């Protein structure tokens, strides 16, 4: 799904990757919307766990923000894929409600995590921290977008350097 989005996801192709037939998927997921929602849910739950691990790995709050972009970088490393949040926007209007909910959850957990990290790293007020958290999340998403469109992960790294250089991401 991170490769072709929701509309690009089809039962037969997915099934063959798993080693079964397309019709068999309907046994586990009644509709495509159910399937999509399940995939999206598993995705943000996994991200949630990754962020939790990152939080535990470092004691210095600044380290959290410095390493945050890595969670997005991994998608690009893995076959030039993109995070669901990005597909979410592109396909937003065509997404079944159940899928949209799960996909938005991804953005929420990211902003929540970032807000806490920014707060701890800079001592800013909760409002200011959330404001910066949203800015960082949007900016990093945009960077992932650019990098994918050039199929060049170096673009992503350069943009992260830029964000730090211009002070968007506290160092």
Partner DNA sequence: CAACGTCTATCTATCACTTGATAGGCAGCT
Partner DNA sequence: AGCTGCCTATCAAGTGATAGATAGACGTTG
- Binding residues for a second copy, rule: CB under 8 A, are 3-5, 7-8, 80, 82, 85-94, 103-104, 107, 131-132, 134-135, 137-146, 148-151, 158-159, 162-163, 165-168
**Nearest approach, Cβ of 18 to a second copy (angstroms)?**
21
Using CB distances below 5 to 8 A depending on partner kind, what does residue 151 bind out of DNA, a second copy, none?
a second copy
Alpha carbons 108 and 105: distance in angstroms, whole number: 5
- Contact partners, residue 139, CB within 8 Å, separation at least 6: 163, 168
Residue 137 and residue 110 in contact, taking contact as beta carbons nearer than 8 Å: yes
**Nearest approach, Cβ of 95 to DNA (angstroms)?**
13
Q: CB-wise, 33 or 54, nearer to DNA?
A: 33
Alpha carbons 24 and 106: distance in angstroms, whole number: 28
**Which of the 8 DSSP states describes residue 125?**
-
Residue 133 and residue 118 in contact, taking contact as beta carbons nearer than 8 Å: yes
Q: CB-wise, 6 or 163, nearer to DNA?
A: 6
Q: CB-wise, 3 or 49, nearer to a second copy?
A: 3
- State how far the alpha carbon of 59 is from the alpha carbons of 116, 145, 170, in Å: 14, 31, 16
Q: CB-wise, 45 or 91, nearer to a second copy?
A: 91
**Nearest approach, Cβ of 45 to DNA (angstroms)?**
21
């Amino acid at each position: 799904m991170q490769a072709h989005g929701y509309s690009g996801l089809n039962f037969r192709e997915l099934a063959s990757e798993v080693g079964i037939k397309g019709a068999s998927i309907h046994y586990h997921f009644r509709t495509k919307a159910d399937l999509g929602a399940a995939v999206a849910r598993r995705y943000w739950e996994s991200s949630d766990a990754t962020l939790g691990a990152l939080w535990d790995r470092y004691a210095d709050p600044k380290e959290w923000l410095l390493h945050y972009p890595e969670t997005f970088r991994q998608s690009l490393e893995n076959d030039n894929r993109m995070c669901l949040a990005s597909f979410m926007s592109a396909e937003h209007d065509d997404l079944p409600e159940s899928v949209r909910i799960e996909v938005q959850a991804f953005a929420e957990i990211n902003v929540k995590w970032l807000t806490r990290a920014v707060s701890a790293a800079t001592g800013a007020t909760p409002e200011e921290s959330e404001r910066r958290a949203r800015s960082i999340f949007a900016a990093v998403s945009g960077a992932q977008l650019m990098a994918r469109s050039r199929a060049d992960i170096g673009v992503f790294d350069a943009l992260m350097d830029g964000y730090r250089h211009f002070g968007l991401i506290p160092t």
